[in-house]
A and B are shown apart, each in its own frame.
Chain A
């Protein structure tokens, strides 16, 4: 016979109180039941508490927890506690509850909220440690590259080719599109000004010099950082989190050589090529504005472009992109190897790879600007 979910409290004289429970005692009712504990003890202040569970049709672990709490409260107030009407099976549920577990303190402290100064301190220490980590990783990477150059047959060329495709071939459409639009916009904006002086032809010079020396390498590097640096970090990070990197180490591989070298070599080979394409696409964008908007012929535009850029410009731009490639791929790998924990750690590694790469790109570019100034 199913009982209604209900209870009533019978207070006989001499402080004996009986709590009669009926119906289902489950998680859904847990909130109502726990509210009852205070009510019984405060309103009736019993000396003996009987709990009659004859009418209980269903008891799950939440219901059992309520009984345990009731009993604990009774003990705390030195009230005699008696339970009746429980089948052997239901007693089984009750015995599952480990009283010590309910009060046992956590073995690890809860994460504390830090105040501003603590934050600042922790962040500073992390930043310094990070620089140290990157430097030691770079050192290790250099050694591995040195090793690879002397043991060319040990390089995993199959991986190199597949990463070259991912970084270069697959990246070309987006690099091309963005560069083309960049050239178009640059030419258009500058033409508005230069037209006033009749200096239309210098639009070609401006686009060519700006792209080949500065924007081509930087734009390409930023796109590669977003596309491939992040992918490297996510790939290695996931392997790290899944203990795959440990497995490599155990099998006697150098994870660095196995995972980083192909990515770094592929980037070093493809990013400069992407940079060349980037400049070419931008010049094509500028050419369209020049021909359609400024009445230049294709021939004069290209001639002016050739005149504006020197071999030195091209070489310095490519050298820069070579260094960018090294930085992006190395940071991607380093962030991946540093990932620890779970899925969130992989996400953090990816973000950090992109942010750090872009920061380094700017730093490297400034350094080049100063060096080239004195060359």
Chain B
């Protein structure tokens, strides 16, 4: 895996909102076909990091390469082409309220392919089926539960079978069973198509079951405090912030029985 060129390379990324520095000098690489998980406490800048990587926000400093091209050097048209190969699930789902769920998922297909309506419809149904939302194509987002909106957002992000999928807390608001099924879906997509997955999550199950590598961000450090295989990190790290993250959850789980 080390010999290949990274699909995402971030170097010296600094993000400021006003005088508040959220991220300072962050750098990491994501290899093709990797399930890359970003963890960290609430408000440490995970969503912000994703938004900068896909280029919808511009960093104060630093550069981001996607597939070997520096995104800051691209013009609007090139950026749009690049983004067509990227699917993103926003933390708030960001479904279009005036469209049905079916139309939300079909939107990228109708915009970016010349497939006939019939085919678009069956692809839409397949994607909704993958996230267990079969039959909800004519519902409006306001008629779905929070977790269902999340899943519809995932279906929309996957509509074009992107080579890179960014998921911001995909399993927030999902029950443990659906959340585990989502992990299976992610793993199968990753193994079958080699889709690179960049996932923000707090679920230890997701981290240990499917991730290849994680980075841990910290609000005070304004950057990455740990990086690597989560199983090895849990075993070997002596950074209290890292062990806390893994152990507190684990002990909580144990006491629950």
Contact = CB atoms under 8 A, between A and B. Distances in A.
Given A107-B135, A340-B142, A342-B98, A101 B192 contact: no
A30 interface: yes
B136 A97 contact: no
B97 A342 contact: yes
A152 B117 CA distance: 61
Interface string A19-61: 0000000111011001000000000000000000000001111
A100 interface: yes
A21 to B, nearest CB: 16
Contact of A342 (B109, B116, B140): B140
Nearest to A60: B161
Given A31-B114, A342-B96, A343-B97, A61 B161 contact: yes
A249 interface: no
Nearest to A344: B98
B7 interface: no
Contact of A31 (B119, B137, B142, B185): B119
Interface string B136-179: 11111111000000000000001011000000000000000000
A251 interface: no
Interface residues of B toward A: which range? 35 or more
A59 B97 CA distance: 32
A93 B122 contact: no
Nearest to B102: A106
Given A65-B122, A342-B142, A104 B135 contact: yes
Interface stretch (B61-69, B126-134, B243-251): B126-134
A60 B113 CA distance: 15
Nearest to A342: B97
B129 A341 contact: no
Contacts of A96: 130, 185, 188-189, 192
A93 B193 contact: yes
Q: Which of B123, B189, B192 has the most CB of A within 10 A?
A: B192
B162 to A, nearest CB: 10
A108 B119 CA distance: 21
Given A102-B122, A341-B142, 19 more contacts: A31-B119, A34-B119, A60-B161, A61-B158, A65-B122, A65-B123, A69-B122, A89-B191, A91-B192, A96-B130, A96-B192, A97-B129, A98-B130, A104-B129, A106-B138, A108-B139, A342-B96, A342-B141, A344-B98
A183 B98 CA distance: 44
Interface residues of A toward B: which range? 35 or more
Contacts of B140: 341-342
A97 B192 contact: no
A109 interface: yes
B123 A30 contact: yes
Interface in A66-121: 69, 89-93, 95-98, 100-102, 104-111
Contacts of A264: none
